[in-house]
């Protein structure tokens, strides 16, 4: 019995000696404090940085024409400026109970470290950043990426999309936003609500999404829409307010990966979400009660969308049917009698008319910009294969056709509740 | 020939063996292969591939049931004569050894790209192969039981990812069903490549001689390929539904991307790719286990030896060398596609031929003794 067990053991031990050193994973051992965790990145064109000297962000390295990869004539583009927000390990409070006293966690600026570098591609700039940082840059916790409008218009997102999709550490759920001014400013905001600035930016976007105020256009969605044959992507468009917070200003429209314009106002986000069939609606609109000078505030809570493609004389014709359910949340005067079903019906009609006008305005803007953010092309591609394969074929051709295709919009509205007041 | 004392494999174990052998390293690249061939028709391409594999599997199982106590190497000699059969059996051995080596390499490439960038590919490959070789020394009873034991770990990651990601899927991405610009040639080629991912199911030929009731082998094969094929189809539908066909074709491993994009409800885990990869190792292991065991046992039968464990040890350096042959990831996938398509001649074409000769010549194995 014993000798048999021994014999078994004698056979097992050489195997273990052979296999065990291989499976310890020591090659890739990297302690958490040896990582420089990048929480946020901002990308600016070099000219935007030159206009304004960097503010109190520590000494920035001199940027000359030679980049870290040793190329003096950058092809395919000019140098851009990368700003990174790196977590300072000891300063980030882990739970809600920590922070405040001790550790210096109460001041948001101290929890992170903001650094600059330059390059012609993201990798190039990151490599230069690595030269300034002792620990290995780690992108697994990258939560937000801000691109300045100037960069998105001049260079497009290709350089970024390729890097982010290729890099194994980067999350697909990272938010990419376009900023109106310098993107670097967003890395330096110090909001008092959250102890880590980038996490505040991220929750601004996440919560807006939950409240139905922002479509779910995170980076993964952008990357899918860029290559989809019948639609163009959008990204959230933000600007810095008073240094400490950001304002969700609208959406940035793209033609492929090239930014071509923005929505006219924040409310257009709602219109875009309505058109793309996002069910929860979070925006409140002001409508004038027909026949009166007074207004009510009306909030949508549920929306339904249906897009049909019909053909007349061999040309496509789009019709969009929308239904919105909502509540009255405020009235401007006692002259509005909400207890009257006829008044409610008139309000419904007013909401429908206003929504239709909003939609027309947004669609007109996309036609002018030559972009199809709603993805009408996808409906044509998916449901009318023969037409698409014969007459459209490519994304560019669809962009040419799109502005001339008539879109019928029909909106029905139902007001359900009035809040806690009876009239 | 399996010793009678190891003729213990039950219906459930045989089914589990088929399922966990099929589900393996190929699941990561599958949506890309299908989307490249048929864009939004990717599910159709996958379905065609599954149908083709089912035909092959049914033939292999039918042959096995006709010769219930013999291995494919043995009964093929009886059907088409000793030397022609030995020649093909040698090809079969070479094919499954190559398949094992390439699967180990593909696994190692996934690991080095996504989680352990500084660990040499060779180390990951040899660790996996050594583990497989060690386990392959076991008898058929242990083999089948191990597959049953690991089945939940093989099925779980795929099912969880599909279930969690379907809410992000858009029906529009899956239309038109035949794809835009449908090209019968491309769809057929894609279906062949997809079908090549199912070749591990040939393992049923090795399991039948060990089954307690070989008559139930057909049911086991069919249930097995339905479950594995169903899961593969669901993964393709979920991936193309979420990303769209164009983006799916751009990713190297779309299924891994799906795991990356999927949030656990309540955002407990914000990315599932690490968890997915950990459990997915089991699926790779069970596939390697089957193809390796198949190679060793075919060699045993070919050389009329009583024990296969000798071959297990001797095979290891060869399989490892095969794993190292492709110089880069692009050529690795070219080689995998090429070897996989070639393998269809062995796993589908050859059984087809054997079956035809059987029908014409009336060759039949010994009746299995009752109970």
- Residue-range domain boundaries for chain A: 30-262, 267-417
What does the angle CA B58 – CA B64 – CA B69 come to, to the nearest 5 degrees?
Answer: 160
Token pair for B15: 């089914």
What pLDDT score does B220 carry?
94
Residues of B in contact with A225 (CB under 8 A): 244
Residues facing residue A305 across a β-bridge: A322
What string of pLDDT tens digits covers the 371 residues of chain B? 566 777 888 999 999 999 999 998 889 999 999 999 988 999 999 999 999 999 999 999 999 998 888 888 888 888 888 888 899 999 999 999 999 999 999 999 998 998 888 888 888 898 899 889 988 888 888 999 999 999 999 898 888 889 888 888 888 899 888 888 888 889 999 999 999 999 989 999 999 988 998 889 999 999 999 999 999 999 999 999 999 999 999 999 999 989 888 877 666 666 777 778 888 889 999 999 999 999 999 998 888 877 888 888 888 999 999 999 999 999 999 999 999 999 999 999 999 999 998 888 776 766 554 43
Look at A89-98, A306-315, A338-347, B27-36 and tell me which has the smallest mean pLDDT: A89-98
Residues facing residue A80 across a β-bridge: A45, A119
Average pLDDT over chain A, rounded to an integer:
81
Residues of A in contact with B261 (CB under 8 A): 172-173, 220
State the Cα–Cα distance between residues B3 and B315, nearest whole angstrom. 23
- Using an 8 Å Cβ cutoff, are A128 and A117 in contact? yes
Q: How near does any CA of chain B get to the CA of A107, in Å? A: 27
Residues of B in contact with A375 (CB under 8 A): 172
Task: Classify B302 as helix, strand or coil.
Answer: helix
Q: Residue with structure tokens 């799109």?
A: A402
Residues of B in contact with A228 (CB under 8 A): 244, 246-247
The residue ranking higher by pLDDT, B55 or A100, is: B55
Is 1.20.1740.10 the CATH number for B4-358? yes
What pLDDT score does B371 carry?
39
* CA-closest candidate to residue A318, choices A272, A363, A380, A274: A380
Token pair for B228: 């594995």
CB atoms within 10 A of CB A335: 10
Look at A58-67, A342-351, B182-191 and tell me which has the smallest mean pLDDT: A58-67
* CA-closest candidate to residue A418, choices A314, A344, A358: A344
- Using an 8 Å Cβ cutoff, are A273 and A234 in contact? no
What does the angle CA A33 – CA A35 – CA A37 come to, to the nearest 5 degrees?
Answer: 110
Question: Residue A205: left (phi > 0), alpha (psi -120 to 50), or beta?
Answer: alpha
pLDDT of residue A246 exceeding 70, the answer is yes
Does B247 sit within 8 Å of A385, measured CB to CB? Answer: no
What's the 3-state SS for B122-172? HHHHHHHHHHHHHHHCCCHHHHHHHHHHHHHHHHHHHHHHHHHHHHHCCHH
What pLDDT score does B90 carry?
92
State the Cα–Cα distance between residues A339 and A129, nearest whole angstrom. 64
Does B40 sit within 8 Å of A228, measured CB to CB? Answer: no
What pLDDT score does A176 carry?
93
What pLDDT score does B48 carry?
95
Residue A415 parent element (H or E): strand A407-417
pLDDT of residue A76 exceeding 60, the answer is no
Query: In this structure, are strands A315-331 and A175-179 parallel, antiparallel, or unpaired?
Result: unpaired
What does the angle CA B161 – CA A273 – CA B258 come to, to the nearest 5 degrees?
Answer: 15
What pLDDT score does A14 carry?
73
pLDDT of residue A413 exceeding 80, the answer is yes
| pLDDT digit string, tens, across residues A365-391 | 999 998 999 989 999 999 888 888 888
ipTM of the complex: 0.84
Alpha-helical regions (H) of A33-157: 46-51, 108-111, 122-132, 149-154
Token pair for A186: 């967003």
- Residue-range domain boundaries for chain B: 4-358
What pLDDT score does A97 carry?
46
Residues 6+ apart with CB under 8 A from B312: B133, B136, B137, B292, B296
Band of pLDDT at residue A58, cut at 50, 70 and 90: very low
Residues of B in contact with A278 (CB under 8 A): none
Residues of B with a Cβ under 8 Å from any A Cβ are: 40, 113-120, 123, 126-127, 130-131, 134, 172-173, 175-176, 178, 180-181, 242-244, 246-247, 250-251, 257, 260-261, 263, 270-271
Cα A406 to chain center, whole Å? 29
Q: Which CATH architecture has domain A267-417?
A: 2-Layer Sandwich (3.30)
Band of pLDDT at residue A60, cut at 50, 70 and 90: very low
Residue A420 parent element (H or E): none
Task: Classify A170 as helix, strand or coil.
Answer: coil
State the Cα–Cα distance between residues A394 and A388, nearest whole angstrom. 9
State the Cα–Cα distance between residues B181 and A205, nearest whole angstrom. 39
What pLDDT score does B110 carry?
92
What pLDDT score does B235 carry?
94
What whole-number percentage of chain A has pLDDT above 70? Answer: 84
Task: Classify B317 as helix, strand or coil.
Answer: helix
What pLDDT score does B138 carry?
84
What pLDDT score does A312 carry?
83
What pLDDT score does A101 carry?
41
Which chain B residue has its CA at the smallest distance from A218's CA? B261
Token pair for B371: 């109970």
What pLDDT score does B82 carry?
85
Does B270 sit within 8 Å of A224, measured CB to CB? Answer: no
Phi and psi dihedrals of A394, rounded to 5?
A: -125, 165
State the Cα–Cα distance between residues A227 and A246, nearest whole angstrom. 30
Residues of A in contact with B130 (CB under 8 A): 15, 18-19, 22
State the Cα–Cα distance between residues B25 and A83, nearest whole angstrom. 39
Minimal Cβ distance to B271: which of A23, A171, A388: A171
Does B116 sit within 8 Å of A25, measured CB to CB? Answer: yes
Quote the DSSP letter at residue A30: -
């Amino acid at each position: 019995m014993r000798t048999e067990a021994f014999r078994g053991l004698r056979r097992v031990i050489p195997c273990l000696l052979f296999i065990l050193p291989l499976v310890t994973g020591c090659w890739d051992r990297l302690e958490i404090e040896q990582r420089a965790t990048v929480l946020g990145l901002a990308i600016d064109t070099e000219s935007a940085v030159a206009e304004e000297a960097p503010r109190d962000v520590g000494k920035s390295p001199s940027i000359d024409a030679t980049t870290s990869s040793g190329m003096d004539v950058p092809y395919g583009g000019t140098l851009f400026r990368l700003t990174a927000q790196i977590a300072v390990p000891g300063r980030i409070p882990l739970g809600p109970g920590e922070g405040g006293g001790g550790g210096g966690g109460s001041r948001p600026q101290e929890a992170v470290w903001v650094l600059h570098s330059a390059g012609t591609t993201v990798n190039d700039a990151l490599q230069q950043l690595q030269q300034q940082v002792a620990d290995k840059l780690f992108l697994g916790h990258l939560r937000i990426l801000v691109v300045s409008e100037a960069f998105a218009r001049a260079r497009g997102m290709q350089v970024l999309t390729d890097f982010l999709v290729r890099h194994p550490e980067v999350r697909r759920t990272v938010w990419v936003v376009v900023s109106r001014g310098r993107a670097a400013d967003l890395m330096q905001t110090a909001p008092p609500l959250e102890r880590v600035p980038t996490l505040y930016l991220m929750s601004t976007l996440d919560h807006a999404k939950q409240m139905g105020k922002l479509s779910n256009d995170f980076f993964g969605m952008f990357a899918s829409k860029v290559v989809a044959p019948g639609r163009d992507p959008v990204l959230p468009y933000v600007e810095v307010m008073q240094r400490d917070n950001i304002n969700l200003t609208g959406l940035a429209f793209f033609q492929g990966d090239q930014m071509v314009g923005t929505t006219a106002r924040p409310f257009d986000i709602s219109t875009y979400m309505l058109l793309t069939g996002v069910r929860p609606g979070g925006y409140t609109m002001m409508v004038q009660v027909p026949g009166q000078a007074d207004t009510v505030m009306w909030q949508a809570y549920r929306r339904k969308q249906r897009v049909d493609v019909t053909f007349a004389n061999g040309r496509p014709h789009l019709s969009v049917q929308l239904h919105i359910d909502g509540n009255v949340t405020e009235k401007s005067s006692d002259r509005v009698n909400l207890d009257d079903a006829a008044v409610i019906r008139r309000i419904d009609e007013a909401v429908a008319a206003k929504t239709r006008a909003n939609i027309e305005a947004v669609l007109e803007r996309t036609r002018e910009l030559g972009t199809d953010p709603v993805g009408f092309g996808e409906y044509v591609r998916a449901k009318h294969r023969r037409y698409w394969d014969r007459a459209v074929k490519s994304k560019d051709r669809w962009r040419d056709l799109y502005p001339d295709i008539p879109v019928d919009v029909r909106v029905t509205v139902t007001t359900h509740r009035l809040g806690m007041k009876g009239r | 020939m399996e010793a009678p004392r190891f003729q213990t494999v039950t219906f459930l174990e045989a089914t589990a063996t088929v399922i966990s052998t099929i589900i393996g390293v190929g699941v990561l690249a599958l949506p890309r292969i299908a989307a490249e061939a048929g864009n939004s028709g990717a599910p159709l391409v996958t379905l065609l591939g599954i149908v083709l594999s089912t035909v092959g599997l049914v033939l292999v199982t039918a042959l096995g049931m006709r010769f219930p106590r013999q291995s494919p190497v043995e009964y093929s000699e009886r059907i088409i004569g000793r030397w022609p059969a030995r020649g093909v059996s040698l090809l079969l051995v070479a094919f499954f050894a190559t398949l094992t080596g390439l699967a180990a390499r593909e696994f190692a490439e996934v690991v080095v790209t996504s989680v352990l960038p500084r660990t040499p590919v060779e180390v990951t490959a040899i660790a996996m192969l050594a583990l497989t070789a060690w386990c392959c020394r076991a008898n058929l009873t242990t083999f089948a039981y191990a597959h049953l034991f690991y089945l939940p770990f093989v099925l779980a990651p795929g099912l969880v990812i599909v279930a969690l990601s379907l809410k992000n899927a858009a029906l529009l991405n899956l239309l038109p069903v035949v794809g835009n610009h449908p090209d019968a040639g491309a769809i057929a080629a894609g279906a062949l490549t997809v079908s090549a991912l199912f070749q591990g199911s040939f393992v049923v030929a090795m399991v039948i001689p060990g089954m307690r009731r070989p008559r139930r082998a057909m049911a086991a094969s069919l249930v097995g390929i339905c479950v594995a094929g169903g899961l593969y189809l669901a993964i393709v539908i979920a991936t193309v539904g979420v990303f769209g066909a164009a983006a799916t074709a751009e990713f190297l491993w779309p299924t891994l991307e799906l795991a990356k994009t999927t949030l656990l409800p309540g955002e407990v885990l914000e990315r599932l790719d690490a968890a997915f990869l950990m459990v997915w190792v089991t699926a790779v292991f069970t596939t390697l286990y089957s193809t390796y065991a198949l190679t060793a046992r075919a060699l045993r039968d070919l050389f009329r030896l009583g024990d296969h464990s000798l071959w297990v040890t001797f095979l290891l350096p060869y399989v490892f060398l095969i794993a190292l042959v492709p110089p880069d990831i692009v050529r690795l996938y070219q080689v995998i596609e090429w070897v996989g398509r070639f393998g269809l001649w062995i796993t589908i074409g050859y059984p087809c031929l054997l079956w035809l000769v059987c029908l014409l010549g009336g060759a039949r194995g010994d009746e299995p003794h009752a109970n």
